Amino acid sequence: LNVLQLLDLFIQWDWSTYLADYGQPNCKYLRVNPVTALTLLEKMKDTSRKNNVFAQFRKNERDKQKLIDTVAKQLRGLISSHHS
């Protein structure tokens, strides 16, 4: 696991590149395992829900949760298609 690639992915929030390039020999996030990425994303989602009791009332927080849910769903699809 290359922690730098994983950190870059999360800090830059570069999911479109990761999902589009996954499986390519020269992809930017070659060493980021989708299972690891999904696990961290799920932890972010859980932590965000626990810390923000009133988060559902704030539009930007709701939008962030929707985005995390969308990326998580795409990662699950990626995992199932490459590990089946």
> pLDDT by residue (tens digit) across 26-65?
999 999 999 999 999 999 877 666 665 555 567 777 788 8
Confidence at 24, pLDDT banded by 50, 70, 90: very high
Q: Which amino acid is at 47?
A: T
* Average of per-residue pLDDT across 66-70: 91
DSSP string for residues in 25-56: TT-TTTT--HHHHHHHHHHHHHHHHHH-TTGG
> pLDDT by residue (tens digit) across 7-19?
999 999 999 999 9
Separation between Cα atoms, residue 27 and residue 44, nearest integer Å: 24
Q: Is the CB of residue 45 less than 8 Å from the CB of residue 68?
A: yes
pTM for the model stands at 0.78
